[in-house]
Amino acid sequence: MEEESRLDSELGQADCSSSEEALPATDDGPVTESVEPPQFGFALPRPARRKPGGRGLVKAEPSAEKISAYKPEQRLLILDCWQRSGLPARDFADLVGLSKHTLYSWKKAFRQHGPAGLMDRHRGAKPGSKLPDLTQRSILMLKQTHPDWGCERISMMLARGPALGASPGAVARVLREAGYELEESPTHPHPDKVRSFERAIPNQLWQTDLFTFVLKRQNRRVYLVAFMDDHSRFLVSFGLHASQSTALVLEVLRAGITSYGAPREVLTDNGAQYVTWRGKSLFTRELEKRGIAQIIARPRHPQTLGKIERFWGTLWRECLQAAVFIDLADARARIGHFIDWYNFHRPHSGIDSLAPADRYFGAAPDMLRALRAQVAANALELARNGVPRPPFYVAGQVGGKNFSLHAEGERVFLTQEGQQRREVDLAPPAPGATDNVMPAAICPDGSPTEREIDTGEPAPGTSPLDNFLASRGGSDARVDIPTDPHRDTTTAENGGAP
């Protein structure tokens, strides 16, 4: 009675009378249908049909969704109707589409807290971050100072700096509560990761490649081939020639094998000097004859031969870019000195700042000392500038007037008192008096000899048979050659063809 009076006082004059209409009887028994009371402001569901003498299983919706479907004032009205009807909880729950346990829980909450007990209550932990205020303020300050920092970096900086513990997830929660939103910005594909390899011992793998540049004075393109040890970056041989032929590569390979022994494998690219599209190239046959395996890099992927490609860059920046060579022979000698300096003196960052020779001759220190002693002390200067020329300068008096002679490159100028400066020619010194010869490099040079160099097309009016006929002479030198009847049939004095 006390609960009914309390409900009446809370609801006032709320009328929740309901009526039932008898439906026609069926074989299954009478079925009742509830009429929706207009005072509720919501529709009460119809009760489910069931057979007399038993109860059927009905798939019920989750109770949480049922509770969330009613507002607090609707729950209060349902409780009031239940108290006024006098029906058991189970029967009334079937009428309104609830479970009896829901009615009991609402009744208990109303008895303990009044109408406030029927209000929606948050279940679970309290929303929001549980980090201390100091940590939350530190997170926001770091994000404002460094907008590009992510949650993981802010978490690490808090741990390393003020020693505040906050996981990346906790940092993200604080930032979301502060109004930060996840922004999806387009990204660019990352380049493939760098893959490196290095053989364990010297002479296990050699890399070879060709490099080309132009002799500035002669405006002549030349080709440089080299073989490099993969483990130590030591240049075992090189060759410079005016053509990029397979013969040049083979000569350089043989020079390296003669000096330092044969490697187990040779890594090459797909150049015509190393690989042929049909059959086997001369280079491949040479390797097979010596029992050396050939490894061919992937086409259009110079990173596979990255070590020797890096050497070409070093050679160009530190020597070839500024050097001016007199001729092909001078270029060979000076490049050889640069390779000597590279092998024995230049530190390499890829091998712990050691010189390539330190790694290549690691097991033979005596040989390393002997070869290092043969390398010229000024090998780098010889490679860049050639043999230094002695300075030339003469000053004195003639007839009471001062004069001076000085050289500017290969030109000599005379300056006399009261006269303009003019260029003069000096008589050359005696042969061998002041010759300054460049020392030979110790790196094996596989370049062809001078007699093997092709000098190009013969001069006009000459023939390759001239030297042959001149060497034979006499009657044996006569060869039947068709001639033009309108030309003079006399031969040249040197035995040339008419």
What tens digit of pLDDT does each residue of 104-115 get? 988 888 888 888
Check residue 56 and give its pLDDT: 34
* Cβ proximity of 103 and 88 under 8 Å: no
The rounded distance, in Å, linking the Cα atoms of 57 and 450 is: 107
User: Which of 198-207, 301-310, 315-324, 454-463 shows the lowest per-residue confidence on average (mean pLDDT)?
Assistant: 454-463
**Angstrom distance (rounded) from CA 204 to CA 295:** 12
Mean pLDDT highest for which of 4-18, 353-367, 422-436?
A: 353-367
Given this structure, which CATH class describes domain 205-385?
alpha beta
Burial of 482 (0-12, 13-18, 19+ CB in 10 A): exposed
Say what the pLDDT of residue 163 is. 79
Q: What are the respective helix, strand and coil percentages of the chain, to the nearest 5?
A: 40, 15, 50
The widest CA-to-CA distance across the chain, in whole angstroms, is 156
| Nearest CA-CA partner of 79 in 102, 113, 45 | 102
- 432 band by pLDDT with thresholds 50, 70 and 90: low
What is the strand order of the sheet 422-424 is part of?
393-398, 401-408, 411-416, 422-424
Contact 252, 279 (CB under 8 A): no
Between β-strands 393-398 and 32-34, what pairing exists: parallel, antiparallel or unpaired? unpaired
User: Tell me, what amino acid is at 244?
Assistant: Q
Supply the DSSP symbol for 476: G
With cut-offs at 50, 70 and 90, classify the pLDDT of residue 427: low
- pLDDT tens for 48-87 read 444 444 433 333 444 444 445 688 888 888 888 988 888 8
**Exposed, middle or buried, 269 (CB in 10 Å: 0-12/13-18/19+)?**
buried
d(CA 315, CA 311): 6
Going by C-alpha positions, the residue among 434, 328, 340 that lies closest to residue 378 is 340
Give the pLDDT score at 495: 38
Residues pairing with 210 in the sheet: 225
pLDDT at 83: 87
In whole numbers, what is the pLDDT of the chain averaged over residues?
76
Interatomic CA distance for residues 86 and 435, integer angstroms: 132
CB atoms near residue 290 (< 10 Å): 13
Task: Compute the average pLDDT of residues 125-145.
Answer: 85
Q: What is the pLDDT of residue 473?
A: 60
- Tell me what pLDDT residue 322 has: 86
1-10, 256-265, 422-431: lowest mean pLDDT where? Answer: 1-10
Sheet architecture: strand order including 205-215: 235-241, 220-229, 205-215, 265-268, 293-296
